[in-house]
Amino acid sequence: MNEIQEKCLGVLIEIDRVCKMAGIEYFIYSGTLLGAVRHGGFIPWDDDIDIVMMREQYDKFADACEVYLNKDDFQLQSIYTDPMTSNGWMKLHDKHTAFIDGGRRKGAMEGINVDIFPIDNAPDNDFILRQRGRVINKINYCYQYRFMKHDKNASLKWKLFYLCIGLIPPWDEMKFKIAYEKYIKKYNKKNTKRVVYFSNANYILKVVPKECFNKTEYVMFEGHKFPAPGNWKKVLEIRYGSNYMTPPPVKERVSQHGTEIIDLEHSWYEYQD
Print the SS3 string covering the chain. Answer: CCHHHHHHHHHHHHHHHHHHHHCCCCEECHHHHHHHHHHCCCCCCCCCEEEEEEHHHHHHHHHHHHHHCCCCCEEEECCCCCCCCCCCCEEEEECCCEEECCCCCCCCCCCCEEEEEEEEEECCCHHHHHHHHHHHHHHHHHHHHHCCCCCCCCCHHHHHHHHHHHCCCCCCHHHHHHHHHHHHCHHHHCCCCEEEECCCCCCHHHEEEHHHHCCEEEEEECCEEEEEECCHHHHHHHHHCCCCCCCCCHHHCCCCCCCCEEECCCCHHHHCC
CA–CA separation, 98 and 117 (whole Å): 21
The closest of 204, 196, 228 to 49, measured between CA atoms, is 228
Instruction: Give yes or no for a contact between 94 and 74, defined as CB atoms under 8 angstroms apart.
Output: yes
Q: How far is CA 143 from the centre of its chain?
A: 15
pTM: 0.93
Determine whether 123 is exposed, middle or buried from the number of CB atoms within 10 Å of its CB (0-12, 13-18, 19+).
Answer: buried
pLDDT at 42: 95
pLDDT at 209: 97
Find residue 51's DSSP bridge partners: 28, 116
CA–CA separation, 220 and 37 (whole Å): 8
pLDDT at 200: 65
The CA-based diameter of the chain, rounded to the nearest angstrom, is 52
Low-confidence ranges of the chain (pLDDT < 70): 1, 199-200
CA–CA separation, 37 and 244 (whole Å): 10
